[in-house]
Amino acid sequence: MGSKAFDQSADAGFDPALKRLCAVIVLGAIMSILDTTIVNVAIDTLGGRLHTSLSTIQWVTTGYMLALSMVIPLTGWAAGRFGTKRMWMVSLMLFLGGSALCGVAWSVGSLIFFRILQGAGGGLILPLAQTILAQAAGPQRLGRVMSVIGVPMMLGPVLGPVIGGFIVDSLSWRWIFFVNVPIGIVALIAAWFWMAGDEARAAGRLDVRGLVLLPPGLAAIVYGMSEAGSHGTVTNASTLIGVAAGVALVAAFVVHALRTRETPLVDVRLLANREFAAGAATTCFLAVALFGSMLLAPLYYQTVRGENALHAGLLMAPQGLGAAIAMPLAGRITDRVGAGRIVPFGIGLALLGILGFTQVGGDTSYVQLAFSLFVVGLGIGASMMPAISAAYQTLRGEQVPSASPALNILQRVGGSIGTALMAVCLARFTASQLGVSGVVGRRGEGKLPPAVADKLAHAFGHTYWVAFGLIAFSILPSLLLPRRAIARAPAGAMAEGAPESLA
């Protein structure tokens, strides 16, 4: 089956089976990605309706993120042990069940518990999606196919606030979770009929020592970073303890993974592959810079310009449009000439767009801001997914299930670091400009006095310079990405484990 599947993957076009598979994957992925941003918009509303403090209701988000981080390392072993289709169905059912239970939650405690259940499903979805698509596509179509999963990743932060704002303003808060139910049911039905079954592989014994070290370590790092963002400083005790404990556990896991003769929970030895290491490093640095900077524009619209969540989401649409335009084009170019020729160009576009926001003021034209966001979107679309594609392209088929959780861990931790860093920098620059940082907490409450708006806008501009520097730094690993097309895979590479319908 493996060689036959690869022979079809060498075809330049997408056969009907692969198109159906892409549709199945997008349905599941967009559901999990949208959910995060939809809930973030409604945190204040949830606290009021459930009669609890902001510090308590924040665990609706934090608990979800911690659960998501802890299950990602299990993806590779579970996919090999039970098969990718079976695990995909399980992840969708966990997410769907968690969403339905969140919608009927009767207290803040029950809501937090059900969000953790939902996060367990959500953490499996993206790495499984990348594994399934990478194995089905083959090296020569990988760039174009990976751009499919990039669409929900880029549109989620744009559409989430719009949908969440509409639900909060017009419907019950419970529909923030119930909205996932019809999407999840359709995704399950589509997966049952359109996703071909695959046989479980010899996954070996579960790496129990790795399970004790890596998931808690990642959760501790993500928790510490979220605390830094909430407090506006990296020197609070919860951040220092969380990050220190997390780094120690992850370092212990790396030592264990390098020494063990068994298959580790996440195979860090993949980093010995230069192309994978370059793609992984580029993806991590881009996650720090781009996902961190994506926090800033909605906050600017809400705090400086007084827009509500719905309007702020609509004003973010040019970024999603730019990413949606760039991704398919970047995918084709990656497949033809290699990621090393397109990713640095995409990073340059992102820098150009971010440069516009470094000069932002209290009354900057919305047209100018929309153009800058559009250029940022073009840059994200031309850099993030091609870098991920490059990481997969030279791997053998049996290595892909281990590579997917590794890449998702780097994205998750990088995104958490970037978000916390931007929040801390914004709080510091706001305090420098205004003497207080509390103004950043006001959202959609009308326009500020011009003098105050200008000072607060300057705080955002200074923070964008930090984002600019981080994005510029990501050019370095991108220069090591392959600058050639993958002409033909080694025997058994990538195609092993492809769905039967593609064989």
Q: What pLDDT sits at residue 501?
A: 33
* pLDDT (average), residues 405-415: 82
343 within 8 A of 387, measured Cβ to Cβ: yes
| Segment of 1-10, 250-259, 275-284, 423-432 carrying the highest mean pLDDT | 250-259
Confidence at 99, pLDDT banded by 50, 70, 90: very high
Q: What pLDDT sits at residue 492?
A: 42
Dihedral of alpha carbons 330, 335, 339, 342, sign: negative
- Take residue 346 and report the two structure tokens written for it: 């995409």
Confidence at 62, pLDDT banded by 50, 70, 90: confident
Chain segment 19-43, per-residue pLDDT in tens: 788 888 888 888 877 777 777 777 7
Confidence at 201, pLDDT banded by 50, 70, 90: low
* pLDDT (average), residues 264-291: 84
Residue 314 has pLDDT above 60, yes or no: yes
Residue 268 has pLDDT above 90, yes or no: no
Q: What pLDDT sits at residue 10?
A: 40
From 351, 332, 328, 354, select the one nearest 341 (Cα to Cα).
Answer: 332
* Domains located in the chain, CATH noted: 2-498 (1.20.1250.20)
Residue 371 has pLDDT above 90, yes or no: yes
- Take residue 350 and report the two structure tokens written for it: 């992102």
Chain segment 487-498, per-residue pLDDT in tens: 544 434 444 444
Residue 54 has pLDDT above 70, yes or no: no
Confidence at 485, pLDDT banded by 50, 70, 90: low
Residue 100 has pLDDT above 70, yes or no: yes
- What average pLDDT does the chain have? 80
Residue 223 has pLDDT above 50, yes or no: yes
* pLDDT (average), residues 368-390: 89
Separation of alpha carbons 8 and 241, rounded Å: 51
Q: What pLDDT sits at residue 489?
A: 44
How many Cβ atoms sit within 10 Å of the Cβ of residue 359? 13
Q: Which residue has tokens 């160009």?
A: 345
Dihedral of alpha carbons 443, 34, 110, 225, sign: negative
Residue 2 has pLDDT above 50, yes or no: no
- DSSP string covering 221-252, please? HHHHHHHHHHHT-S-SHHHHHHHHHHHHHHHH
